[in-house]
Amino acid sequence: MDHGLSQALRRFDRERLRAQFVEQGAFLYLDAFLPADVTARLVQSARSLEPAVNRNYLPGHKQGGSVSRHTIDRLAPHIAELYRSPALIDWLEAVTGDKLLLSPKDDPHAYALYYYTREGDHIGWHYDTSYYDGRRYTLLVGVIDESSCRLDYELHTRTPGATAIPGSIQYPPGSIVLFDGDKLRHRITPSKANEMRVSLTFEYVTDARMRPWRRLISNMKDAIAYFGFRQVFRARGAARTDQGTP
């Protein structure tokens, strides 16, 4: 897979995209990014993972489903392989201008699928706040979009002295949105009845350390808002055990 991706990513002018990323306040959208065979496999997995979706509802903020990295590791490991792809990471580093690290083993957001399958599924305005000591980059990958949902966003809300610039897109299968989580204010608008939308999220960091109190906040948020207590705390317990095992 890495070889195919590496070939496909050669068609992009990295310097031009880097300039565009900076100019847009650490944000870039590309409507055709992944090779067709990689996208097709993601679509297939997104459909087959539907029974494993964890549904969440936070009144006034979000409603939807998600499949965490722990489930992906068990049932669709090719997604984890894509997340770790050296060709992809090399390209992301060129565009962000940062040395990127994989998110730690116990972070369920490292790679996850988000499902909008019922009427009203959405997420309100937010930032992908970094609880790490370094920056946190989000890469959204379009997988399935049979919906009217839109990614609304505002560029430059945290650029000193700048005027915020609003935007709105629907990102089709194989497209990507890349941004610095602390800089892009964004939301997904509510889905209508009988619509389906699945988005894949990859998270990369520049410093994987996290202060203990931030870890507690992050864990609680993940358990309540995304993956459920069992996924977050059992998996984290397991990860700690792993680290203690030679």
Q: How far is residue 145's CA from residue 142's CA, in Å, rounded to a whole number?
A: 7
Location of structure tokens 């919906």: 147
Cβ nearer to Fe ion, comparing 93 with 152: 152
Q: How far is residue 116's CA from residue 75's CA, in Å, rounded to a whole number?
A: 20
State the minimum distance, in angstroms, from the CB of residue 67 to Fe ion.
Answer: 16
Q: How far is residue 199's CA from residue 46's CA, in Å, rounded to a whole number?
A: 9
DSSP codes, 59-101: TTTEEEEEE-HHHHHHH-HHHHHHHT-HHHHHHHHHHH-S--E
State the minimum distance, in angstroms, from the CB of residue 130 to Fe ion.
Answer: 12
State the minimum distance, in angstroms, from the CB of residue 62 to Fe ion.
Answer: 10
State the minimum distance, in angstroms, from the CB of residue 17 to Fe ion.
Answer: 21
State the minimum distance, in angstroms, from the CB of residue 188 to Fe ion.
Answer: 8
Instruction: Report if residue 180 touches Fe ion, rule: CB under 5 A.
Output: no
Cβ nearer to Fe ion, comparing 33 with 114: 114
Give strand pairing partners of 178.
28, 139
Start-to-end C-alpha separation, the chain: 31
* # binding residues, Fe ion (CB under 5 A): 1
State the minimum distance, in angstroms, from the CB of residue 241 to Fe ion.
Answer: 30
Q: Interaction with Fe ion in 25-44: which residues (CB under 5 A)?
A: none
Out of 106, 121, 128, 222, the only residue in the binding site for Fe ion (CB under 5 A) is 128
Cβ nearer to Fe ion, comparing 6 with 206: 206
For residue 6, count CB atoms less than 10 angstroms from its CB and return exposed for 0-12, middle for 13-18, buried for 19 or more.
middle
Q: How far is residue 189's CA from residue 148's CA, in Å, rounded to a whole number?
A: 8
Cβ nearer to Fe ion, comparing 49 with 184: 184
Considering only the stretches 65-73, 81-89, 111-119, 121-129, report the one whose residues sit in contact with Fe ion under the rule CB under 5 A: 121-129
User: Which residue minimizes CB distance to Fe ion?
Assistant: 128
Cβ nearer to Fe ion, comparing 76 with 151: 151
The residues, any chain, with a CB within 8 Å of residue 29's CB and separated by 6 or more, are 169, 171, 175, 176, 177, 178
In degrees to the nearest 10, what's the CA dihedral of 128, 213, 134, 180? 10
Considering only the stretches 27-35, 53-61, 126-134, 234-242, report the one whose residues sit in contact with Fe ion under the rule CB under 5 A: 126-134
State the minimum distance, in angstroms, from the CB of residue 179 to Fe ion.
Answer: 9
Residue 159's alpha-carbon distances to 53, 94, 135, 182, 207, in angstroms, are 37, 21, 15, 11, 22
* Residues at the interface with Fe ion (CB under 5 A): 128
